[in-house]
Amino acid sequence: MLTRPDVAIVGAGPVGLAIAWRCASRGLRVTVHDPAPGSGASHVAAGMLSPVAEAYFGEHELTGLLAESAARWPRFAADLAEAAGVDVGYRADGTLVVGLTADDLAEARRLWSYQQGLGLPITPLRPSELRDREPALAPRVRGGAVAPGDHQVDPRRLVAALRVAAERAGAVLRPARVGALSEVDARVTVVAAGCGAAALTGLPVRPVKGQVLRLRAPGRGAPDFRHVIRGYADGESIYLVPRDSGEVVVGATVEERADTEVTAGAVLRLLRAAVDLVPELAEYELVEATAGLRPGTPDNAPVIGPLPGRPGVLVATGHHRHGIVLTPVTADLVTELIVTGEPDPLLAPFTPDRFGKEPRWN
């Protein structure tokens, strides 16, 4: 008979697998339960690590956590590459925030002025400076700013690497869905099931649908632009994430829906905005159109910590638009909590008890 694990993790997305890797590396016996590892939001995600461009009005605590996790990313990527022998596609070329029309630029500037006010590293550029940095931008683009510390990683490679690293460290993957927490027997259970966490915990985690496209540069070379490009094009919020493989991720819709259908209207809007910003994309191959479900919460921040009323159960979910950038800090905080029993002060704003007796979402 197998011994009872120290830690059972429900969900093998980036969050669950990173916790599994870190815990197993600390000598804990770990199992990870998931019928389809890596099939959640991470399969669709763009992989922007954007603590600055994703700093929104009224989200101070989340902004702080994004910065903390982004700062841990270079070390995390290097450790993971060494542990797994898989390159996760971490790139530090920076991000350009742009506006196509005068109205788009005003909208982009409203947000980056706020970000500058917080002391975050984002610098407005003259149109000529913008085009010097990224000649692939359309001449019509009115202006923009650069956030040099906003980087990117390939989420599919990340999950593949985390799976190898976790298993090499001794974690055991169990390919089965968990229908209720009573099915899992371990000293500590960690619910890291993305949107699946709502049914298991009653926490207000809801699906927020996002549709994305994947294009490929002609001839399978790298795209002609290096920065992540994000901003507005005729009122459409859009981002373009170029990878060394030749892939460009074009995203994303934000819809209060729980289905994963790809709609013609979304594809049309994403492609039009993408080609308006970078005309050469019209010559790229359209390789994939997919939709995923972000695990959203009422305050857009993750839910990390002990589940009230359930001794021995921790949650690490609700990462919404930020689960990739937040993977390192989430894994570190949860692992420390399990190993030492002491919550890091960083956790305080994100614990599940902040939702009080709020009714469950579904």
Ligand X SMILES: Cc1cc2nc3c(=O)[nH]c(=O)nc-3n(C[C@H](O)[C@H](O)[C@H](O)COP(=O)(O)OP(=O)(O)OC[C@H]3O[C@@H](n4cnc5c(N)ncnc54)[C@H](O)[C@@H]3O)c2cc1C
Residues in the site for ligand X, rule: CB under 6 A? 10-16, 33-34, 36-42, 44-48, 177-178, 192-194, 196, 200, 210, 212, 251-252, 292, 294-295, 317, 319-325
In the complex, least distance from residue 283 CB atom to ligand X, rounded to whole angstroms: 24
What is the distance of C-alpha 49 from the center of its chain?
7
Q: Which residues pair with 173 in a beta bridge?
A: 32
Tally of residues, the chain: 362
Name the residue nearer to ligand X (CB basis): 45 or 143.
45
> Does a cis peptide bond (omega within 30 degrees of 0) precede residue 252?
yes
**Residue 299 CB, nearest approach to ligand X (Å):** 15
List residues bridging with 249 in a β-sheet.
214, 241
Q: How far is the CB of 253 from ligand X (least distance, A)?
A: 8
Residue placing its CB nearer to ligand X in the complex, 41 or 161: 41
CA–CA dist 90, 100 (Å, integer): 28
143 or 203: CB nearest ligand X = 203
**Residues contacting residue 173 through CB under 8 Å, at least 6 positions apart:** 12, 31, 32, 34, 37, 163, 166, 167
Nearer to ligand X, 204 or 292 (CB): 292
Least separation, in Å, of the C-beta of 316 and ligand X? 7
Closest distance to ligand X from the beta carbon of 252 (Å) = 4
211 to each of 6, 154, 241, 289, how far by Cα in Å? 38, 17, 14, 7
Nearer to ligand X, 36 or 106 (CB): 36
Distance CA 266, CA 224 (A): 25
Residue closer to ligand X, measured from CB, 42 or 189: 42
| Cβ at position 25, least distance to ligand X in Å | 18
**Residue 100 burial (CB < 10 Å; 0-12/13-18/19+)?**
buried
